[in-house]
């Protein structure tokens, strides 16, 4: 399917709204079930109430090869709470009626174990807009892409700074909704800088696709979001939200801290 055709209406509307307001879209992330099921729902709702355009609901996984220590710790806490794929889908259902588009971020083994078509069908039924699969390549994703297309879900793949032009074409052609551009090589985590390779990667992607490009890995402050928002369509923030929850004294404090960061990020990209 042509990536220029926005498959998931929620994603398309989110990017269109941000563009109309002359800003980049803010995309937040939180693992389902972290620090517990009820609080994870409250936190995501607070992100949405604070102006975040999209939220990635992570499915906790025991071997998160792409994630740094902050998100790994959150995943361990969620798994200790007994969080499963079905629980993550329940979180999606609980927050999908808000103003933000809801995505799932999942490692491939979880989806494969659940069943590709079953997962796509269940996610669509709960109001999800799409799925980011960080460890699945387009060449291995034919059946998954078909399952997503059958449910009008976006299937989003990752592009790295080290990717060749041909590789970027493959990733862009296989992605719908947007292309996820990793700002730097390495795992997720809060960093002091975004990385010099990010603007170049976005420019290279723009030469091979008209789909929106969102940048993730390392963005944690309003200043960094403002910088990325100057050249990208979307700014993805994960570890910074998770850290606010880890450092909070209790659930109410966690919700308040996340709302504060979300508002800071949204304000930072305003008036691009």
Q: Which of 56, 63, 99, 149 is catalytic?
A: 56
Distance, CA of 107 to CA of 8 (rounded, Å): 20
In a domain, 4, yes or no: no
pLDDT value at residue 145: 98
In a domain, 3, yes or no: no
pLDDT value at residue 272: 59
Domain with residue 213: its CATH number is 3.20.20.70
pLDDT tens digit sequence for 60-96: 998 877 788 999 999 999 999 999 999 999 999 999 9
In a domain, 206, yes or no: yes
pLDDT value at residue 194: 53
pTM (global) more than 0.85:
yes
In a domain, 73, yes or no: yes
Q: Which residues lie closer than 8 Å to 24 by C-beta, 6 or more apart?
A: 18, 225, 228, 229, 232, 233, 234, 235, 269, 272
In a domain, 62, yes or no: yes
Contact criterion met (CB below 8 Å) for 226 and 14: no
Q: Which of 67, 165, 233, 260 is catalytic?
A: 67
pLDDT value at residue 9: 72
pLDDT value at residue 196: 76
In a domain, 167, yes or no: yes
270: which 2 tokens?
Answer: 């305003």
Residues of the chain with pLDDT under 50: 1-8, 185-192
56 is annotated as an active-site residue = yes
144 preceded by cis ω (within 30°)? Answer: no
In a domain, 188, yes or no: yes
In a domain, 2, yes or no: no
How many domains does one find in the chain? 1
pLDDT value at residue 217: 78
pLDDT value at residue 157: 97
164: which 2 tokens?
Answer: 């060749």
pLDDT value at residue 91: 98
In terms of residue numbers, what domain contains 52?
9-268
Distance, CA of 225 to CA of 89 (rounded, Å): 28
pLDDT value at residue 191: 43
């Amino acid at each position: 399917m042509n990536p220029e055709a926005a498959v998931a209406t929620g994603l398309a509307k989110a990017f269109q709204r941000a563009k109309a307001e002359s800003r980049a879209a803010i995309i937040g992330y939180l693992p389902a079930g972290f620090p517990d099921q009820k609080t994870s729902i409250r936190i995501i709702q607070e992100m949405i109430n604070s102006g975040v355009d999209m939220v990635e609901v992570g499915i906790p996984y025991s071997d998160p090869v792409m994630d740094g220590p902050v998100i790994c710790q959150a995943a361990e806490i969620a798994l200790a709470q007994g969080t499963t794929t079905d629980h993550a889908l329940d979180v999606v259902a609980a927050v999908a009626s808000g103003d933000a588009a809801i995505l799932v971020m999942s490692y491939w083994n979880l989806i494969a174990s659940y069943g590709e078509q079953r997962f796509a069908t269940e996610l669509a039924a709960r109001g999800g807009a799409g799925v980011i699969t960080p460890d699945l390549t387009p060449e291995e994703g034919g059946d998954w892409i078909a399952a997503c297309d059958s449910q009008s879900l976006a299937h989003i793949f990752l592009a790295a700074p080290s990717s060749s032009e041909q590789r970027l074409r493959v990733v862009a052609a296989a992605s719908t909704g947007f292309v996820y551009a990793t700002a730097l090589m390495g795992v997720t985590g809060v960093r002091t800088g975004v990385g010099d390779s990010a603007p170049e990667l976005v420019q290279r992607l723009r030469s091979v696709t008209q789909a929106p490009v969102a940048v993730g890995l390392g963005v944690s402050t309003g200043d960094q979001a403002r910088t990325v928002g100057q050249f990208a369509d979307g700014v993805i923030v994960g570890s910074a939200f998770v850290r606010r929850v880890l450092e909070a004294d209790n659930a109410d404090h966690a919700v308040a801290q996340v709302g504060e960061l979300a508002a800071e990020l949204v304000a930072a990209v305003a008036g691009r």
